[in-house]
Chain A
Amino acid sequence: MLTTLAQSSFSTWLLSSNSIWAYPTVLTLHTFGMMVLVGAALMIDLRLLGFGRAIPLQSMSRLFRVIWAAFALNAVTGTMLFIADADKRAPELIFWTKLAFVAVGLLTAARIRRMNFQGGTEPVVVSSAAKRLAVVSLVAWSAAITAGRLLAYVG
């Protein structure tokens, strides 16, 4: 099944087409999505940890839309990149490590939103539970980026 995917005509096109619209563009979109997603998540985390306190927390709620949209882009482009290299990627521990950290990051973002951004009322102080979640988020996204970058070097 993995070999079938890796040998599909889509995979051949993505990997061996000389077109700039094939692999380079998909990879660049994936990088763009990462930068937007992690950038938005980091700003919310920093605010929860006490930086930029003058920014009303509720005014940042639109950044969650940015996070989900960037994730949608990266789910699509990531799937495309996976199909192209399915037989190589599937057995790699580092690949599944990356996906695990992405899952932790997304679940943490959802919990942060539920805890701090629902009801529309501004919390007077950020709870220590919210701060812990912000730290989990920072660690998860840094680890996801590290694992993702190492994919190009390990294995």
Chain B
Amino acid sequence: MPTLANAADLAHLHLLLNHFPTIGTILGLGLLLLSFIRRNEHLRKVSFEVLFLIALATLPVYVSGSAAAEALKGQAGVAQEAITAHNDAALGSFIMMEITGFFAWLALWRMRRIGRLTTGLTYTVLILAVLTVAAVTRAANMGGDIRHPEIEGGQYAGLFGTAAASSGFISAAGIKDYVLQHPYVWPTCETLHFLGMSLMFGVLMIVNLRLVGWLRGMSFASVHRLLPFGLIGFGINFITGMFFFIAASEQYTQNVAFHWKVVLLMLAGVNYLVLTVYDEAWALPASADAPMSGKLLGGSALVLSIGVMYFGRMLPFIGNAF
């Protein structure tokens, strides 16, 4: 299979994508604050959608960052400590971003069900978004410190003080060591990854087979109820998947099957957001056939999720083998 991107492309991709989380979260938070000033619920919904999409887009930013770190290894003018510090800060902000994205999604899901945004979830997202902006700007700032002529000597003192290997509350190296030094961690994560996949696909199957029209006799609103289980499955797979990636990133960064998996996962994520907020489908009674747009949405969700599974399973067989 032809490659999608080589190491230099991925390093370049990281430079292109790395502004998305910072600017996107600030934009999402800005829209949210504006929605308070204008008392505009529609604007608030848009801000939650932006925060969810940015949480999604942060995955390729993080994984391309690992590829960039590999490409930079041993190059003059690059302080390894700066990369480590940036990686740890990025991982911390990435986790924050995913939690924010999850609650933004939950708020949208609840809104679809009860017709309005709940105060509790709105303020939860607001607080999380503020914390995420702080975490992600710190990570971005430390990323900017990686390539500076003045650090060629190997002494690195970033804007936020000396960056030791574990400057934050989370350390990618620590996670890597934990996974690799305990032989039970990888098989346990694999098992959970398969369980999470089955749960997620079960939900996708029932919702999308209903849209496509193969399952009948259930309203869209009734299957919409199951969507959080799909996100729980995704959460399990996101966490276990990050354990794999952090422990053995060199197996993935140059692997074309992994590149395709991430691309399809992004599209599947956008699809899931549309499923959550989709107005036309929401009104679908038990006996009615979905409109063509709903059938296309359901069909593409199934194709995309099977594609994600396919490239995941093919990771050891396509591209560079494990």
Q: A35-B201, A52-B225, A149-B194 are in contact. Are A62 and B214 (CB under 8 A)?
A: yes
- Do residues B202 and A56 form an inter-chain contact, with CB atoms below 8 A? no
| A36 smallest CB distance to B (angstroms) | 7
Closest chain A residue to B228 by CB distance? A51
| B187 smallest CB distance to A (angstroms) | 4
- Do residues A150 and B187 form an inter-chain contact, with CB atoms below 8 A? yes
Q: How large is the interface on A (under 10, 10 to 19, 20 to 34, 35 or more residues)?
A: 35 or more
Q: Say whether B217 faces chain A, with CB atoms less than 8 Å apart.
A: yes
Q: How far apart sit A119 and B310, CA to CA, in the bound complex (Å)? A: 39
Q: How large is the interface on B (under 10, 10 to 19, 20 to 34, 35 or more residues)?
A: 35 or more
A-B contact count (CB 8 A): 105
Q: Say whether B190 faces chain A, with CB atoms less than 8 Å apart.
A: yes
What are the residues of chain A within 8 A of B317 when measuring CB–CB? 20, 23-24
Binds B, one of A40-48, A73-81, A109-117, A123-131: A40-48
Per a CB cutoff under 8 Å, which of B191, B195, B197, B215 touches A59? B215
- Do residues B225 and A51 form an inter-chain contact, with CB atoms below 8 A? yes
> Mask for A28-59, Cβ within 8 A of B = 1, else 0?
10011011101111110010000111111011
Closest chain B residue to A31 by CB distance? B313
What are the residues of chain B within 8 A of A148 when measuring CB–CB? 194
- Do residues B205 and A52 form an inter-chain contact, with CB atoms below 8 A? no
What are the residues of chain A within 8 A of B309 when measuring CB–CB? 28, 31-32, 35
Q: A28-B313, A43-B202, A59-B216 are in contact. Are A52 and B223 (CB under 8 A)?
A: yes
B176-199 residues with Cβ-Cβ distance < 8 A to A are 186-187, 190-191, 194-195, 197-199
- Do residues B318 and A149 form an inter-chain contact, with CB atoms below 8 A? no
Per a CB cutoff under 8 Å, which of A32, A40, A63, A146 touches B306? A32
Q: How far apart sit A33 and B86, CA to CA, in the bound complex (Å)? A: 41
Per a CB cutoff under 8 Å, which of B191, B199, B225 touches A39? B199
Q: How far apart sit A66 and B217, CA to CA, in the bound complex (Å)? A: 17
Q: Say whether B46 faces chain A, with CB atoms less than 8 Å apart.
A: no
Q: A32-B309, A55-B218, A59-B218 are in contact. Are A43 and B191 (CB under 8 A)?
A: no
Q: Say whether A2 faces chain B, with CB atoms less than 8 Å apart.
A: no
- Do residues B187 and A54 form an inter-chain contact, with CB atoms below 8 A? no
Q: How far apart sit A59 and B314, CA to CA, in the bound complex (Å)? A: 35
Q: Say whether B273 faces chain A, with CB atoms less than 8 Å apart.
A: no
Q: Say whether B286 faces chain A, with CB atoms less than 8 Å apart.
A: yes
What are the residues of chain A within 8 A of B262 when measuring CB–CB? none
- Do residues B190 and A149 form an inter-chain contact, with CB atoms below 8 A? yes
Q: Say whether A145 faces chain B, with CB atoms less than 8 Å apart.
A: yes
- Do residues A43 and B198 form an inter-chain contact, with CB atoms below 8 A? no
Per a CB cutoff under 8 Å, which of B187, B226, B286, B318 touches A51? B226
Most A CB within 10 A of own CB, among B195, B206, B318: B206
B212-237 residues with Cβ-Cβ distance < 8 A to A are 214-219, 221-223, 225-226, 229
- Do residues B194 and A145 form an inter-chain contact, with CB atoms below 8 A? yes
Closest chain A residue to B221 by CB distance? A54
Q: Say whether B126 faces chain A, with CB atoms less than 8 Å apart.
A: no
Q: How far apart sit A32 and B190, CA to CA, in the bound complex (Å)? A: 15
| B277 smallest CB distance to A (angstroms) | 19
Q: How far apart sit A28 and B257, CA to CA, in the bound complex (Å)? A: 13
- Do residues A40 and B202 form an inter-chain contact, with CB atoms below 8 A? yes
- Do residues A36 and B205 form an inter-chain contact, with CB atoms below 8 A? yes
Jot down 30 A-B pairs with beta carbons below 8 A, ordered by A: A24-B313, A24-B317, A24-B318, A27-B313, A28-B310, A28-B314, A32-B306, A32-B310, A34-B194, A35-B309, A36-B201, A38-B198, A39-B201, A40-B202, A43-B202, A43-B206, A43-B226, A46-B226, A55-B223, A56-B286, A59-B216, A60-B215, A62-B214, A63-B215, A66-B205, A141-B198, A142-B195, A145-B191, A145-B194, A146-B195
Known: A41-B202, A142-B195, A153-B186. 20 other contacts (CB 8 A): A20-B317, A28-B309, A31-B194, A31-B313, A35-B309, A39-B199, A39-B201, A42-B202, A43-B205, A51-B226, A54-B222, A54-B225, A55-B218, A59-B215, A60-B215, A60-B218, A66-B205, A145-B191, A145-B198, A149-B191
